[in-house]
Amino acid sequence: MVQSNLGGLKVAILVTDGFEQVEMTEPRKALDEAGAKTSIVSPKDGRVKAWKFTKWGDEFPVDVPLSQARPGDFDAILLPGGVLNPDKLRMDTNAVMFAQAFLDSGKPVATICHGPWTLIETGKVRGRRLAAWPSLQTDLENAGAEGVDQEAVV
């Protein structure tokens, strides 16, 4: 059993269809086991469909539709990658504004793989160091951020 060092922490997991399944399920499992309360937030109602390496993966229930989600109800946000997911989210003004609220308030923001694409659209990544998939390096540099190909950056 994992110790509950995140007890009471509420984490929004912002996704839409096409998120890389393992990039949502494994961090969610770790957060939940550490005592956090995770919620899938999505512009889609009902269920979201994951991408699993080279094909469609499992479906997951949306806990909070983005239209009803308030950043103030959460302590942190997780932005999983996959190529389809952040490409759709960064074109959704409400999703971008939701993510931006966490940056503006200084709350923890975790991104995986292509997840930083959504943050680039906020205009708030200048001067930040972000772990990202190598193909995002130019996008991050153009936005004034430093992209690094590392497992984690704090």
Q: Stretch 91-99: mean pLDDT, rounded?
A: 98
The per-residue pLDDT for range 104-139, each reduced to its tens digit, is 999 999 999 999 999 999 999 999 999 899 999 999
Return the active site residues.
113-114
Q: Burial of 113 by CB count in 10 Å (0-12 exposed, 13-18 middle, 19+ buried)?
A: buried
Residue 75: pLDDT band with limits 50, 70, 90: very high
Q: Which residue has the tokens 């504004």?
A: 97
Nearest CA-CA partner of 20 in 54, 47, 46? 54
- In this prediction the pTM is 0.94
- Would you list the domain boundaries of the chain? 10-148
What residues form DSSP beta bridges with 30?
A: none
Looking at the domain 10-148, which fold is it? Answer: Rossmann fold (3.40.50)
What is the edge-to-edge ordering of all strands in the sheet holding 55-61?
19-20, 47-52, 55-61
Per-residue pLDDT at 1: 47
Per-residue pLDDT at 152: 80
